[in-house]
Amino acid sequence: MSTSSTATPETLAQAGKVIAVHINYPSRAAERGRTPEQPSYFLKPSSSLALTGATVERPAGCELLGFEGEIALIIGKTARRVSVEDAWSYVGGVTASNDLGVYDLRWADKGSNLRSKGGDGFTPVGPAILDAATVDPAALRVRTWVNGELAQDDTTEDLLFPFAQLVADLSQLLTLEPGDLILTGTPAGASVAVPGDVVEVEVDSSSTGQTTGKLTTTVTEGTTPLAPFGAQPKIDDKQREEAWGSAEKAGLAPAQEPASALTPELKAKLESVATATLSSQMRARGLNNVSIDGLTGTKTGRKVVGTARTLRFVPNREDLFKSHGGGYNAQKRAIDSVREGEILVMEARGEKGTGTLGDILALRAKHNGAAAIITDGGVRDYSTVAGIDLPVYCANPHPAVLGRRHVPWDTDITIACGGSTVQPGDIIVADDDGILVIPPAIAEELVEACIKQEHQEEFIAEMVKAGHGVDGLYPMNAAWKEKYEAWAAEQA
């Protein structure tokens, strides 16, 4: 194959198979909220192929025709059980593609995508085909425009699954034949095209300057309704959000977060009183089991107040770790979703023989604005974690990885940590004296009582400094209370 050639009807006729990868770009994985451990695939019929300049019909009655700019690999020679090291030599060409699909029909063929992505013209490719031998597969760029506005722009530098891995992986179970196409995944920014839109996709090589040119597809409105004996279009707001890429782009009102009981005013008041005072006032209200015990903080002299988010680890069981421990697991989801001012509290059952947090995840939590992290287990990379401007409370440092003793299981549920029950939304207050869990419903009344108590104790301390004995003063009897009231009036 020369340095470049042009995709022609003959090119399409040679494609016996069109294989597409679900998720391969980290930007898309972040957008979707899941990172696969291994590549997964689906088939598109060769009748879905089209050339540049073609039109594609959004089926009548459908709303969500999604575009996905991609890099397509064209197999150059028969590949069966090839190695990753040799796999790229089996690729003959590289071109641009658009993995179009109708979200309205996703429900009908779950997993296969046949009806949603297999329509005529739903896989345009071209216009130029770059000789695979002349390009670096890790130095390609794919961009997509809609009506001239850039919608997608990413490179192949840090793919989840490099192109050679895809070819080798597929060849283990099926024979890849000359002309077969592999669509290698789409980056973030894929969205919806409506009738009248012109979608363009271009692939270029940063190392050689070669380009496929722009693959152009115009969207038209279908006029023939789907027959009533087959699946009918069906969508909801979740499909709209996924198709457009976000609730905002879909024109949907974002989900309202429940109002936090921890207002800025309440937070300031809680920061002004000691945990010892809070503890005594909760005890006066019959709450004795509200302290998270046995932990040490990385930041001394720091007062921390925030709303609890929760994460639960269960004891390691190898089969469960295999299904729940890898990829975008509960631990990573919890760290990624923690928000400004929240405190992530982890249930590790007091297990000290492994880490439940390391420096990378601590940095991510800090970036997201977490107020602190609390775990009744160990922490890896302790010195580095301690150097991050994020208070972390833990049982001890430990070098072992999470999987030695734990399976990350679930988030935002009621947990136990350091001998205390913690629910999502509970208010956490921590300082050098300890860590307290405050039920949100009593927080306002509780802190007012604490402020009053500390004001009284200020008076008592002054009296003790002046030489008075504590009998009748601490706690105050009626006579001392009268003197206190007079003192308080003077202070006002």
Instruction: Express each pLDDT in 41-90 by its tens digit.
Output: 999 999 999 999 999 999 999 999 999 999 999 999 999 999 999 999 99
225-262 as b/e, with b when 16 or more CB fall inside 10 Å?
ebeeeeeebebeeebbbbbbbeeeebeeeeeeeeebbb
Angle subtended by helix axes 275-284 and 443-465, to nearest 10? 110
Which domains does the chain show, CATH number per domain? Answer: 4-244 (3.90.850.10), 289-438 (3.50.30.40), 445-491 (no CATH)
> Closest by alpha carbon to 365, among 326, 335, 331, 327?
335
> Closest by alpha carbon to 43, among 161, 182, 243, 169?
182
For residue 112, the model assigns a pLDDT of 87
For residue 245, the model assigns a pLDDT of 85
* Cα–Cα distance for residue pair 271/249, rounded to 1 Å: 39
Angle subtended by helix axes 478-491 and 443-465, to nearest 10? 100
pLDDT in tens, 278-321: 999 999 999 999 999 999 999 999 999 999 999 999 999 998 88
Containing 257, the helix (H) or strand (E) segment is none
Is-contact 429 275, C-beta < 8 A? yes
User: Mean pLDDT across the chain, nearest whole number?
Assistant: 93
Q: Is 8 a residue whose pLDDT tops 90?
A: no
Task: State how far the alpha carbon of 395 is from the alpha carbons of 46, 250, 289, in Å.
Answer: 58, 45, 19
Kindly report the backbone phi and psi dihedral angles of residue 369, in degrees, each rounded to the nearest multiple of 5, phi listed first: 95, 15
* Percent of the chain at pLDDT exceeding 90: 78
pLDDT in tens, 107-154: 888 778 999 999 999 999 999 999 999 999 999 999 999 999 999 999
Please, what is the Cα angle at 70 between 65 and 76, to 5 degrees?
A: 130
In the numeric block, which tokens belong to residue 108?
Answer: 């009908």
Q: Is 259 a residue whose pLDDT tops 80?
A: no
Is-contact 336 361, C-beta < 8 A? no
List all residues 6 or more positions away from 61 whose beta carbon is below 8 Å from its beta carbon. 104, 222, 225, 226, 232, 233
